[in-house]
Structure 1
Amino acid sequence: MLEELRIQNFAIIDELELTFDAGFNVITGETGAGKSIIIDAVELLLGGKTNTTFVRSGADRALIEGTFVLNDFTRAVITPILQREELLDDDEQNDYITLAREIRSKGRATARVNGVTVSNDVLREIGEVLIDIHGQSEHLSLLKARQHINLLDDYADLLEVRSGLAQVVETLNGVRDEIKALIEDEEALKRRAERLRHEVEEIDAAELKLDEEDELRAERKRLANSEQLATLTAQATILLHGDDEADEQVSAVDQLMEVSVLLGKLAQIDPELDDDRDLADSLSAQAEELALSMRRYNDSIEYNPERLNEIEERLEVIGGLKRRYGGTVEAVLDYAERSRKELDNIEHSEERLAALRVQEKKLLEHIGELGSRISTARAKAGKTLAQGIIAELNDLRMQHTRFEVKIEQREDPDGCYVGDKRLAFDATGIDRVEFMMSANPGEPLRPLVKVASGGETARIMLALKRVLSQADHTPTLIFDEIDQGIGGRIGAVVGEKLWALSDG
């Protein structure tokens, strides 16, 4: 609800601060006292059009600021807007919100929410949740035809059922998007299939293995350094096992064997050296094994330019595939698998299209069934709603007023199935709902927005608000000139209804 309103340098107002309590608040005064100027200021606060004439003569700027207390409903609606516009932290609790509008005498206008500058569209979007002004204002939620279906469904307790319908419609839209993608560009699908086929064949022909690249790189390194490997292993073998051509050189293996013999003799004298003797025996045996291993390795080393070229070519093939399809061999294989599945879907697109058509028809039949049930409930609730509003208007000295909830359907060749017809639909169902009214005898029913203005509109809105009070959650209602053209007795009735509407 609107808790505080501050106005500075607006029209004839120098400075004004108003504090409102929950419930019924009344502003009275003689003609010309400035009541309508307060309404104009509130309209501006809600995103209304600005004009430099609003700035008080001699002032540089006009400022209107309103502080609102949020209830559970308004918080649930406004919080996503604040988060979308980055005006609220995710974990921040917002019990109050402040809207402000500033108009400078040179023509520039600024809108703010909680002190942060926003677009006028955002200000208007938030304002529509917080206030309805009934009278000669554009801020009449009940006069907006697009809201009538929501008000009727809330009144008829159909929102939960309608939510289920919306989910089915969303599923249908996904199916139709896939159908469209399949039939929209058949040539493009053929080209895509040809490219995928070529890519899969290229990857399959390479017969990639996950560890192959590392093994090839290691083999390439050995082949490229075969001469150095042969030299180094030969030197190690000579040191370990000796050189047959050098008679004076004693090998490491021979020396370790001599050490082992000496330690054996020592151990016979002093048994505490048994472990050292065993270690010498072990080292001698390991050195012999190492020498043999080096000799075998040296014998296996070969210089093979042809094999080296094969490895280079193979690594180039792998590298090319990695550059085109992924940074690793694993990524290339994953790409091939995905492409194979997509190719299979394209090659079986006719079968997929036929299956989607069957699914589409079932969903359209389901939507038609749900939409028809909702439409029947709306028609019943619409009659009850109309009777209640007419009764309220009779109390407000508008005895000749007729009110009707107009529910229409439109045929559509692509619509849902209802009986032997195909009807247009959306997430709300198959109906187009609009409140219709005739305020005077002999006049035809017309859309609510075209029926009346001024105080008469305010009374019509009061009647609507009274009946739809459970369906319309706008927390602050402003009725302007609601007593226009009525006598004292009706004025008392109006007051009682306003008082009841505000929950006393």
Structure 2
Amino acid sequence: MLHELSIRNFAIIDQVRLTFAPGLNVFTGETGAGKSIIIDAVSALLGGRLSGDTVIRTGAERAVIEGIFALSPRDAALIRPALEELGLDDGGDELILSRELNRSGRNVCRVNGRAVTVAVLEELGQKLIDIHGQGEHLSLLRVREHLGYLDRYAGLTEERARLAETVGELRRVRQALQDCLRDERELARRMDLLQFQVGEIEAARLDPAEEEQLLQQRTLLANAERLMELANSGYTLLNGGEPQRRAVLDLLGAAVHDLAQLEKLDPAVAPHRQAVEDALYQLEDVARALRVYRDGIEYNPARLEQVEERLSLIQSLKRKYGETVAEVLRFGENARAELEAISHNEERLAALREQEEALLGRAGEQAARLSAARKEAAALLERAVEAQLAELKMEGARFVVAIERAEDPAGPEIDGKRWALDGTGIDRVEFLIAPNVGEPPKPLARIASGGEASRLMLALKSVLSQADSVPTLIFDEIDAGISGRVGTLVGRRLWNLARDHQVLCVTHLPQIASLGDCHMCVSKSVVNERSVTQVRPLSDGERVHELAGLLGGNNTGASVLNAEELLAQGREWKQNRVPAGVKSAAQE
């Protein structure tokens, strides 16, 4: 539910912070005080389209609206999947939405402190609040939602989920069928290509480690003369010697001899003699290794050519099939698997057609049962809504749940025809209304606005309250065009509705205001030659005076007594209310 709302520099609101209660929250105040501005601010918070220049308070550069929502387990189950998908879920039991409107036209929207687009704010807002009076937020006006309402009202959620699972499996099988039924000439061309690719890769007999070894071989073969020259030079310096220069090993041997003589005279030289002697032995090993290495070098142009050809083949395959030899081999495996699948295409086609027929039959049975249950529930829903409308003094109104189907040759056969099928079934549902006798039913979005529309929405919300998952409902001036007697009925409907939802209501009728669980007064005053809207919760005593004013009195004895009586009647009715879900006109 909406726990707290903060509004700053919005229209004639300087700064307001409101704390709401569960149940029925009512707003009263003089016309023009700013009651509907509060609703407009909520609409803006939910991503409503508006111009910053028209709503930002004169003299301010920006308007800021922030809402804190307390998430019950039911609310969390509704909103958390969307938050997780958007990466905005912090796991807490509060959700904070904010929107900043700037004169430049720039919007800054945030969810739990993270910047988002207006579209994201709107998507989340539709799951949190329904505003009657701002059609874009009222879920009952969105035809795509009507089928879900009917299914939840009828308790068909599980059956619908089972059908959706079957339809999903059917779609996967049909997609596989389409893949198998591609043009035969295309398949033939594909087979030729795959056979060539598989043959080319297999003929190469590639080894993932081969390329590195070949590159090393090529380096050695291409530089054989230079390798031999360098190895021979090193060996000669160590062991061969030259006429003008003695070999390193000869010099070290002489040094060892001299140090041995020195050691006889001074034993302290022994470690140095040993170090030189060790170096001599190590260099003798190096000299022998260089000689073997030099003698083993082979200048082989034919082998070099073979290595170059092999590397060229590997490079050619990599250009076609992958950046590495491993990727080339993996490409070959995939091509071989696809070739195998195409080769067995007829067998697979027969198996898929059999699967499709079985799944289509099962989906048809599930959809038929679901459709029959919907028709029964639709009749009950029609009667329930019309009964609610009659109690709200709209006796002649007709409410219709229109259920239609569209033919589709690819759909399941039901009642001798094939119908279009999706994850929701074969039915297309829309709620229609004929407010006046003799008029044909029309879509909800096309009914007249005002008290008539408000009462219709209230009747629908009352009947569908358990099926309606939106936690907070807002009715802006639901009492437009209705009398005080009807106002009492409307107020009681709102209070009953508030047992399953949080309800915010802007009203001018004391009969509705007297039933509020939280009563806020909206007033306008002039501060420093500027109009300022103020909102404050009323105590029990203040409510009496506010209701007396709404009754048309000037807080005289009679109007105060009437106000006190209204509040007392409201409290008594609440205490004696019928159990949730039971509607009784006699008790009302």
Q: Is the 8 A contact 2:65 2:98 kept in 1?
A: yes
Aligned counterpart, 1:181: 179
Change (3 A) 1:6 1:219: closer
Q: Deviations over 1:24-77 (max 9, x none)?
A: 111112322221221122112211121222122232222222211112233233
Of 492, 498, 502 in structure 2, the residue corresponding to residue 502 of structure 1 is 498
Aligned counterpart, 2:117: 119
Letter in 1 for 2:166: V
Matches within 5 A, 1:319-330: 320-321=316-317, 324-325=320-321
- How far residue 491 of structure 1 moved from its aligned partner, in angstroms, is 1.7
Change (3 A) 1:471 1:207: same
Q: Which moved more, 1:332-341 or 1:115-124?
A: 332-341
Alpha-carbon separation, structure 2, partners of 1:105 and 1:212: 68
- How far residue 310 of structure 1 moved from its aligned partner, in angstroms, is 5.7
Secondary structure of 1:485's counterpart equals: coil
Change (3 A) 1:214 1:473: closer
Q: Which moved more, 1:305-314 or 1:152-161?
A: 305-314
Alpha-carbon separation, structure 2, partners of 1:338 and 1:57: 68
2:427 aligned with 1:426: no
Change (3 A) 1:440 1:202: same
Alpha-carbon separation, structure 1, partners of 2:40 and 2:163: 41
Q: Is the 8 A contact 1:5 1:65 kept in 2?
A: yes
- How far residue 189 of structure 1 moved from its aligned partner, in angstroms, is 3.3
Aligned counterpart, 2:536: none
Q: Is the 8 A contact 1:100 1:113 kept in 2?
A: yes
TM-score normalised by the chain length of structure 2: 0.66
Q: Is the 8 A contact 2:135 2:141 kept in 1?
A: no
2:431 aligned with 1:435: yes
Alpha-carbon separation, structure 1, partners of 2:439 and 2:459: 20
Q: Is the 8 A contact 1:50 1:103 kept in 2?
A: no
Alpha-carbon separation, structure 1, partners of 2:12 and 2:306: 94
Letter in 1 for 2:61: D
Identity %: 53
Letter in 1 for 2:170: L
Change (3 A) 1:488 1:220: closer
- How far residue 381 of structure 1 moved from its aligned partner, in angstroms, is 1.0
2:397 aligned with 1:398: no
Question: How well do the aligned residues superpose, as a CA RMSD in angstroms?
Answer: 3.5
Could you list the runs of 5+ residues in structure 2 that have no partner in the other structure?
A: 232-295, 500-573, 575-588
Aligned length: 440
Alpha-carbon separation, structure 1, partners of 2:101 and 2:59: 14
Q: Which moved more, 1:211-220 or 1:398-407?
A: 211-220
Matches within 5 A, 1:148-227: 148-207=146-205
Secondary structure of 1:415's counterpart equals: coil
Letter in 1 for 2:36: S
2:81 aligned with 1:80: yes
Q: Is the 8 A contact 1:134 1:458 kept in 2?
A: yes
Change (3 A) 1:458 1:222: closer
Aligned counterpart, 1:447: 443
Aligned counterpart, 1:47: 47
Alpha-carbon separation, structure 2, partners of 1:107 and 1:496: 43
Q: Which moved more, 1:384-393 or 1:359-368?
A: 359-368
Alpha-carbon separation, structure 1, partners of 2:332 and 2:215: 24
Alpha-carbon separation, structure 2, partners of 1:58 and 1:211: 75
Alpha-carbon separation, structure 1, partners of 2:98 and 2:158: 36
Q: Which moved more, 1:381-390 or 1:216-225?
A: 216-225
2:29 aligned with 1:29: yes
Q: Which moved more, 1:216-225 or 1:446-455?
A: 216-225
- How far residue 316 of structure 1 moved from its aligned partner, in angstroms, is 5.5
Of 466, 472, 475 in structure 1, the residue corresponding to residue 468 of structure 2 is 472
Aligned counterpart, 1:266: none
Of 71, 95, 99 in structure 1, the residue corresponding to residue 93 of structure 2 is 95
- How far residue 477 of structure 1 moved from its aligned partner, in angstroms, is 1.0
Could you list the runs of 5+ residues in structure 1 that have no partner in the other structure?
A: 233-299
Aligned counterpart, 2:410: 414
Q: Is the 8 A contact 2:412 2:418 kept in 1?
A: yes
Q: Which moved more, 1:178-187 or 1:478-487?
A: 178-187
Q: Is the 8 A contact 1:75 1:94 kept in 2?
A: no
Aligned counterpart, 2:57: 56
Secondary structure of 2:200's counterpart equals: helix
Q: Is the 8 A contact 2:78 2:469 kept in 1?
A: no
Larger RCO (CA within 8 A; separation ≥ 6): 2
Q: Deviations over 1:386-418 (max 9, x none)?
A: 111111111111111111211111111222222
Alpha-carbon separation, structure 1, partners of 2:483 and 2:338: 77
Aligned counterpart, 2:582: none
TM-score normalised by the chain length of structure 1: 0.76
Q: Which moved more, 1:99-108 or 1:466-475?
A: 99-108
Alpha-carbon separation, structure 2, partners of 1:210 and 1:487: 87
Aligned counterpart, 1:15: 15
- How far residue 148 of structure 1 moved from its aligned partner, in angstroms, is 0.5
Alpha-carbon separation, structure 1, partners of 2:454 and 2:444: 12
